[in-house]
């Protein structure tokens, strides 16, 4: 049995029993971990902490050969409640969570994606437009996966990709890219993602609200 203390983002929740949930967690140190959370259904302190893309500190343990870890301690580090109550960013949160869950293998290192999620959430809280945040997130996630065809992109898109490589989101938003460039970049990232996965993410349809 191994005991781990770390921080994590809540990516997905599924029912396990009448009182318990299974949480998919993007941990800072161990990639995606699926863990049972006892007493997390209904009105409880744990239920309040288990909100999509809320960052939590937790301790979990896993018995050798077990499919699920089990959460012991759980506390909120940074709530995503404010973003979930804003119409624009609320549509983006499910997409960020599903993307991270899809592109980070279970129990493998996911520190780069963890830091990317934190960066994008902080930028959204600072007022960066959700459409720009979505493209930035896609670009870096596909770069980490090694499937972004940057050299084959149109010139305007290559220029935007270069800016995203150099600048954090808040700085990039001070001179926002032209809508046409963002739309062209979305075409590139969408095609790269679909070619890599063989399908589209279910939450991608929510992004139509950002256009």
Give 56-89 pLDDT, tens digit per residue.
Answer: 999 999 887 788 999 988 899 999 999 999 988 9
CATH architecture of 2-79: Beta Barrel (2.40)
pLDDT tens track for 144-200: 999 999 988 899 999 999 999 999 999 999 999 999 999 999 999 999 999 999 999
Q: In DSSP terms, which residues pair with 35 in a beta bridge? A: 23, 69
Backbone angles phi, psi at 58, to 5 degrees: -155, 160
The pLDDT of residue 46: 74
Percent of the chain with pLDDT over 70: 97
The pLDDT of residue 19: 86
Q: Are 112 and 144 within 8 A, CB to CB?
A: yes
For residue 98, give the nearest of 208, 206, 209 by alpha carbon.
Answer: 206
In this predicted structure, the answer to whether residue 1 has a pLDDT above a threshold of 60 is no
The pLDDT of residue 4: 87
Domain boundaries, the chain: 2-79, 82-210
For residue 103, give the nearest of 114, 91, 92 by alpha carbon.
Answer: 114
pLDDT tens track for 5-47: 999 999 999 999 888 899 999 998 889 999 999 887 776 677 7
Question: What's the whole-number average pLDDT of the chain?
Answer: 91
Cα 71 to the center of its chain, rounded Å: 20
Angle subtended by helix axes 179-197 and 155-166, to nearest 10: 90
For residue 8, give the nearest of 66, 63, 76 by alpha carbon.
Answer: 76
Cα 122 to the center of its chain, rounded Å: 12
Three-state SS string over 49-108 comes to HCCCCCEEEEEEEECCCCCCEEEEEEEEEECCHHHHCCHHHHHHHHHHHHHHHHHCCECC
Q: Are 139 and 132 within 8 A, CB to CB?
A: no
Supply the pTM of this predicted model: 0.93
How many beta carbons lie within 10 A of that of residue 64, not counting itself?
6
């Amino acid at each position: 049995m191994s005991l781990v203390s770390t921080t994590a983002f809540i990516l997905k929740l599924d029912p396990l029993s009448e009182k318990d949930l299974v949480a998919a967690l993007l941990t800072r140190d161990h990639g995606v971990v699926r863990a049972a959370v006892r007493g997390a259904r209904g009105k409880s302190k744990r239920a309040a902490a288990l909100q999509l893309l809320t960052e939590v500190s937790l301790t979990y343990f896993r018995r050798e050969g077990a499919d699920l870890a089990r959460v012991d301690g759980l506390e909120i580090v940074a709530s995503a409640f404010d973003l979930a109550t804003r119409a624009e960013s609320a549509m983006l949160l499910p997409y960020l969570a599903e993307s991270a869950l899809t592109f980070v293998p279970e129990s493998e290192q996911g520190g780069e994606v963890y830091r990317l999620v934190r960066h994008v959430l902080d930028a959204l809280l600072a007022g960066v437009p959700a459409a720009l945040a979505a493209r930035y997130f896609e670009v870096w996630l596909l770069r980490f996966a090694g499937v972004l065809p940057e050299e084959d992109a149109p010139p305007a898109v290559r220029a935007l990709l270069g800016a995203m490589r150099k600048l954090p989101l808040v700085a990039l938003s001070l001179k926002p890219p032209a809508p046409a460039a963002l739309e062209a970049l979305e075409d590139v990232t969408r095609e790269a993602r679909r070619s890599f996965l063989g399908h589209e993410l279910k939450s991608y349809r929510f992004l139509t609200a950002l256009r």
